[in-house]
Structure 1
Amino acid sequence: MVALRSLARPLISWVQSRFRSCPKLRHLMVETFEEFDSTVVVDGKGGKPILLHVTSRMENQRATGFFNKEPDTIAWLDQLQPGDLFLDVGANIGVYSLYAAVHRGAAVVAFEPESQNFAALNRNIHRNGLAGAVVAFPLAASDEAGPTELHLSSFATGQSHHSAHAPVGEGGVVFRPVFVQGTLALTSDEAMARIAPGKTPRFVKIDVDGNEARVLGGMTALLANPKLEQVLVELSNGDPALIAMMEQAGFEVRRPDHTYGGRGNHIFVRKAAC
């Protein structure tokens, strides 16, 4: 793949120079690109394909690894029943939001603050005809509300490892962002009270690359509601403090069978009432 890119670079450079200097060629290329269908069909279960808009390497990776990158997440989502409410915090381009809606018939609320991912998420919702079934909001879930900054690790659609409030990633590692965009922080408690008043998600997924404690700190009311049964959180190196916090909130942890890059999906299940 690297060799192919190296061979292609001279041609790409030549095309780019003509694109910038020749209006007629630029018009032709733009019109051609507009007609190009960049939709990828992900083979689904039970004859239910999911369509993904793919324009970047990372989007292509997410499409290619749809069912095998995190099989534990897919198996977890398979517990959802039609009509269940699912909250996806850090939805990225919407892989798991789409799965929950298409294959499980769940109603989905998705939060994704990064601008390009949010646009792709909405394209994917539209392309799959899921308007109303999946509703996305450009919010950074947190323990406080108000305008804030989102520090981007990469300026490309489908990428992750961005950080709200400060450029601090997993494990407290400070990084130099390639771009800082504005966003709006809101607690999940307040957001859900406004978005779905009187309703509580049965499942919540949190994938925020280091901001997990702040996200959970902003959903104390949801965590106290017995209708919220399970919370899946991707954690780096276990995070004993966060696990202890969830246990104190009335959940028991199911640790991951496998990890990737030191990260693993921890499933918190509400303890049975005595």
Structure 2
Amino acid sequence: MQLVRKGIEILRSYGPVSFVSAIFLFAYWNLGIRTIFLIYYHKSSGPTTNVIIGKISASIETRTYYEFELSYDLKDEQKTLENVLGDTSQDDVFYDIGANVGLYSYLFGPAVSECKICAFDPHAMNAAALKRDLERNKIDGMIFRLALSDENGTFELSEEGQKAGFGDHSLDTTESESTVPVIFRRLGDLREEYTLPVPTVVKIDVEGAELDVIKGAKDTFSAPNCKTIYCEIHLDRVQSFGGSPKQVKDSLTNTEFEIEYIDEEVGGRSMMKATK
């Protein structure tokens, strides 16, 4: 009944064109039309997809449907990607935390010097796909198959899909029947062990564990030359880790960052940009 009332409201307020458009969008997102379209599009495409953001281009492996969906959905992150690439120079060091298959890493690669990309993702298939794509695009980076947190240890990762590119590998295991053990490390300890440089630009997308990552990276993010952090806050998941969007924001402002939002509350997510 709520959908019917909403439809009548749209028809009365905005007219029949908007009403028909609303019906199409509802069907596209909720009745499987989008998935059918993307499956067909994926099958008609080759094993790789070329992605272009501004003057930067990269060849991305899209052998699985989920990898293809990620590359297709890059248009929804156009503004963020343009911001990230616009903030970079040849002297920058980029950390891709929660890299998935590395869309940011191999778009960022052509913009910076060699050996200045560090990507972190705990899922084996994602890390393998990321390695192949970096090699295909002749980008030399370091890949760490682990999760960053505020402590060191081994915990369980929710694994809702078995193929590279699946976006719902989460540290929140409360509703998951499938988990795999993963290594957790504090960024400060990892940097000391591997003598990693301080990042100048950071992207964080960790499905709700944003606050834990920032806590474990406090010394790193407090460094004067760590100048920009892009942090995607998952509004529906951050509370599962005992945090809140405000705590994430405060944890960055406490290390002398100024906060702005690029995309606020889009699809249950909010992209925060922190700069010094």
TM-score, L = length of structure 1: 0.75
2:84 matches 1:114: no
Give the aligned partner of residue 50 of structure 1: 58
Distance 1:45 1:72 in 2: 12
Tell me how far apart the structure 1 counterparts of residues 264 and 121 of structure 2 sit (CA, whole Å): 26
Give the AA of the match of 2:179: V
Q: Deviations over 1:134-164 (max 9, x none)?
A: 2111011011112222111322321123223
Query: Runs in 1 of length 4+ with deviation above 4 angstroms?
Result: 1-5
Give the deviation of 1:195 after TM superposition: 2.9
Q: Which runs of 5+ in 2 are unaligned?
A: 1-31, 40-44, 236-243
Return the letter of the residue paired with 2:110.
Answer: V
Overall identity of the aligned pairs, in %: 23
- Determine the C-alpha separation between the residues in 2 that align with 1:230 and 1:241: 18
Query: Which of 75, 79, 83 is residue 87 of structure 2 equivalent to?
Result: 79
Question: What is the aligned partner in structure 2 of residue 89 from structure 1?
Answer: 97
Residues 137 and 257 (structure 1), Cα distance of their counterparts in 2 relative to 1, 3 Å cut: closer
For residues 197-212 of structure 1, the aligned pairs below 5 Å read 197=196, 199-212=197-210
1:253 to 245, 252, 259: 259
2:233 maps to what in 1?
235
Residue pair 2:64, 2:164 contacting (<8 A) in 1 also: yes
**Residue 190 of structure 1, CA deviation:** 1.4
Distance 1:56 1:146 in 2: 31
Answer whether contact 1:255 1:267 (CA < 8 A) is retained: yes
- Tell me the equivalent position of 1:11: none
| In structure 2, C-alpha distance between the alignment counterparts of 1:74 and 1:196, rounded to whole Å | 30
Q: Matched residue pairs, number?
A: 229
Distance 1:183 1:3, change over 3 A: closer
Partner AA of 2:119 in structure 1: A
The Cα offsets for residues 43-79 of structure 1, whole Å up to 9 and x where unpaired, read as: 3543x53111112222112222335434223322321
Give the aligned CA root-mean-square deviation in angstroms: 2.5
Deviations 1:210-235 (A, max 9, x none): 11111111111112211111111101
5+ long unaligned stretches in structure 1: 9-35, 168-173
Q: Does 2:273 correspond to 1:263?
A: no
Structure 1 position 3, deviation (Å): 11
Query: TM-score if structure 2 supplies the norm length?
Result: 0.75
C-alpha contact 1:45 1:103 (8 A) present in aligned 2? no
Q: Which residue, 162, 184, 189 being the options, matches 2:169?
A: 162
Secondary structure of the equivalent of 1:253? strand
Task: Name the SS for the 2:80 alignment partner.
Answer: helix
> Partners in 1 of 2:195 and 2:93 — Cα distance?
9
- 1:210 and 1:175 mapped to 2: Cα distance? 14
1:105 to partner: Cα distance: 4.1
Distance 1:4 1:224, change over 3 A: closer
